[in-house]
Amino acid sequence: MTAEAEYGAVRIRVTVNGVGHDALVEPRTLLVYFLREQLGLTGTHVGCDTSQCGACTVLLDGRAVKSCTILAVQANGAEVKTIEGLANGDTFHPVQEGFREKHGLQCGYCTPGFIMTAVHLLETNPHPTDEEIKHALEGNLCRCTGYVNIVESIKWAAAKMGGENVSR
């Protein structure tokens, strides 16, 4: 490979919410900006931009990660799921429903990140304790609702996903 090729844009192929994308990216492009600005998927938010707040959380090959701290080139060949890919048509994912039913959001800025984190948690641990939920949420910050209703929202989702008859 020539030096020119190394310093130029890199071609990547990424599957986002089930759709394959071929794209040219500058190596320094962060995954979150690739999603928002090249693909127009603005549901993933940039909060602190320093891998603290978790607003940019997406699933990369099924794992919750902070997309402000991953280069788009590192996602080459990977599958990404964002908040836009959660609902099935008009039917919300149970975690999305839980946040609505249990008032897990107020301004909503942090919500996509919390929801993607919770989706990963419930996929790996379908019946988490309150403590396990709180431990899993350590990398997500909310500045207005507070965390009590967020934990309740995730418990509601866990119950619904477990087949329980959940109250509205």
Partner 1 sequence: MFPASFGYVAAHSVDEALRLLDKHGDAGKLLAGGHSLIPAMKLRLMSPGTLIDLGTIPGLRGIRVDERSLVIGALTLHADVASSDLVREHLPGLADAASVIGDMQVRNRGTIGGSVAHADPAADFPVVLTALNASLVVQSSTGNRTIAVDEFFTDFYTTAMAANEILTEIRVPIPPSGSGTAYAKLPHPASGYVVVSAGALITQSSGSCVSARLAIGGLGSGPIHAVATEIELKGKSLTPQVINAAAAKAAENTDPTEDSYASAEYKRHVATVYARKAIEAAVARAAK
Site of interaction with partner 1 (CB under 8 A): 1, 3, 6-7, 10, 26-28, 30, 49-52, 54, 57, 60, 63-66, 69-71, 73-74, 76, 117, 120-121, 135-140
Q: Which is nearer to partner 1, 39 or 64 (CB)?
A: 64
Radius of gyration of the chain (CA): 17
CB of 22 to partner 1, least distance (A): 16
- As given in the structure block, the two tokens for residue 27 are 């190596």
CB of 159 to partner 1, least distance (A): 21
Q: Which is nearer to partner 1, 54 or 94 (CB)?
A: 54
Starting at the earlier edge strand, list the strands of the sheet with 79-81. Answer: 19-25, 10-16, 79-81, 57-60, 63-66
Q: Is 38 helix (H, G, I), strand (E, B) or coil?
A: helix
CB of 156 to partner 1, least distance (A): 20
Q: Which is nearer to partner 1, 4 or 90 (CB)?
A: 4
Q: How far apart are CA 166 and CA 150, in angstroms?
A: 16
* Residue closest to 116 by CA, chosen among 50, 39, 35, 40: 35
- As given in the structure block, the two tokens for residue 53 are 């707040």
Q: Which is nearer to partner 1, 137 or 166 (CB)?
A: 137
CB of 164 to partner 1, least distance (A): 25
